[in-house]
Amino acid sequence: MKHLDNYEKLSCELSQVDLSTILFPHEHNEWLSLSDYVQEKMLCSLCTQPVFHDDYLAYLIYHRLKWVKAFKHCLPQKGAAVLEVGSGSSVNFFNALEIHDTTAKYITANMNKILTEGLRQNTANSPLSIQIIEDDANNILNHLPSESVDAVGFEHSVNDVLQAIVCEAKGHDTTNSDWFEFLPEMIKIFCAEYENGNLENMAKEKFLSLITNCLAVIKPGGYLIMSHYMFQFDLDLGYNPRLWEDILVVMRPWLHELDIGKEVLVEGFDPQWWIFYQK
């Protein structure tokens, strides 16, 4: 298995960061309540294994650190407008944006209705300006003007987008269904297409259409940012380990077929787990 990060480098980096600047007070207090031994064990596990539920706090710190760094690189000006694709009910990306800049505008394009309602509840008390678009991101130009956002983010959602494309093509409704109830079957369908060598034929055209439309709403010089990591939960549900590890590797050649921008390498971000595509 490819490691998420180098534990020694991460420990060194964290020792130079005031965690109170990237964590909310209750998160910071929870982390400080752990012994040094437990903190080190959780961080080492995070770097070398798929993410387990018991390591959630280390995972939160790690990805908060990474996304805040990504925002500092890609959003140097305050008050940026940022679109997240396929957030579900998760607020990992949202909370990092709030930590980075409380004057930013957060927009999300979310298809699944149950998860969208969860997102509304999870973001209700935030100072950020929020716009929730209940539609496929492929239709984003129906909701936002061209060149109106500073960045578009996929926070562990490339797999979700691809899964939805494949399952919709197979006749399944991923908009009105209970996402997590359907997830085991979705993973089975998605991995079967990958193992049969049919994933590109089923997903590439619609995926690139979605990416092209997302790039259309990004201002010149802005970024499309994608992140991925592995949850043990999904492996336990039957995800093909190689596909789960290499989601970005699989779709990166598709992205490079576009001539709207180019992938750039950003120091401190492993291309195995991150893509920065600048318009």
Q: How many CA atoms lie within 13 A of 217 on its CB side?
A: 25
Note the pLDDT tens digit of each residue in 20-29.
999 999 999 9
> Is residue 175 over pLDDT 90?
no
The model carries a pTM of: 0.95
Render pLDDT for 60-76 as a digit per residue (tens, 0 to 9): 999 999 999 999 999 99
Comparing CA positions, the residue from 134, 135, 126 lying closest to residue 105 is 126
Cβ pair 113, 56 in contact under 8 A: no
- Residue 173: CB atoms within 10 A of its CB come to 10
Nearest C-alpha neighbor of 92 from the set 183, 225, 2 = 225
Kindly give the residue spans of alpha helices, DSSP state H, lying in the chain.
Answer: 7-15, 25-32, 36-48, 56-74, 92-100, 113-122, 158-169, 179-195, 199-216, 232-236, 241-245, 247-255
Q: What's the pLDDT at 54?
A: 83
Pick one of 3.40.50.150, 2.60.120.650, 3.30.70.1560, 1.20.1250.20 as the CATH number of 76-278.
3.40.50.150
β-pair partners for 223: 151, 278
